[in-house]
Amino acid sequence: MAKVSIIGAGQTGATTALWLAQRELADLVLVDIVDGMPQGKSLDMTEAMPVVGSDVKIRGSNSYQETSNSDIVVITAGVARKPGMSRDDLMATNGGIIRAAVSESLKVSPEAIFIILTNPLDAMSYLAMKVSGLPRERVIGQAGILDSARMRAFVAMELGVSVQNIHCYVLGGHGDNMVPLTRHSNVAGVPLTDILLPERLDAIVERTRKGGGEIVSLLKTGSAYYAPGAALAQMVEAILLDRHLIVPASAYLEGEYGQSGIFFGVPVQLGRGGLERIIEYVLTDEERQALERSASHVRETIAGLDG
């Protein structure tokens, strides 16, 4: 069976592990610096497997040695946002965590594909690629699936339609400058611009952009983990099962959408080798300008990395 290691056994890491364990896709390793915590969570999950009917092995460890020969390494470790904090405020602390997690994981899993969740997402994905020296196919950031899922949920609430009929596409940097493509988003093929009044659509777009912050302000002591964990599980599944699935994710651009040298949210195709290709939409001038504003913010964030 395939092997997936999750670095960071907090709420998001553990929830990701649970989503994956239920799908019976791979054996799992949870790693965290807190003594006993990954061991306890993995044991608790192991004891749930007879109930859900899954035979995956789940282990917890404070050592990277347990992660050796992983097919995929998911990094969720990092400090969470508190109310009033932006994702960028986490840069210094989480940058150090990413450097260590990538370096230590790569020593024992040299063939692994890395999926990054740690915020600020685009900058941390960029740092992971630079620290690892890996090609862009093997380092991918999870953001767009989450952002698009939030928008789909809000549209479903508004229209009373099944989420399965709703398709939304959110591109750009993971933050308040993300770019929901309302023209390409639809309900059963009908564009959102034809279904929703402009003011209602604008409200959904704004709520999508602030979706993470809304949860942070409600929880007060942490950030979202159910939806981010589900989004990570979808990416892991697409890679392990070689689905060639097209999803929005943060990828290193080499000229696509007129951008180079940054990680940025775009539609990507995922398969067994990781990032297989980037899909380019035909954009209006207004959409291109919005993407450029988002890209400028990502560049500023990346410029704030030390070294």
Active-site amino acid positions:
174
Cβ pair 145, 231 in contact under 8 A: yes
At which residue do the structure tokens 């470790």 appear? Answer: 77
Token pair recorded at residue 74: 């998911």
DSSP for residue 272: T
Q: Return d(Cα 298, Cα 18) in angstroms, integer.
A: 31
Q: Return d(Cα 132, Cα 102) in angstroms, integer.
A: 6
Q: How many CA atoms lie within 13 A of 129 on its CB side?
A: 20
**Angle at CA 248, nearest 5°, toward 4 and 241?**
40
Q: Return d(Cα 195, Cα 299) in angstroms, integer.
A: 35
Cβ pair 106, 146 in contact under 8 A: no
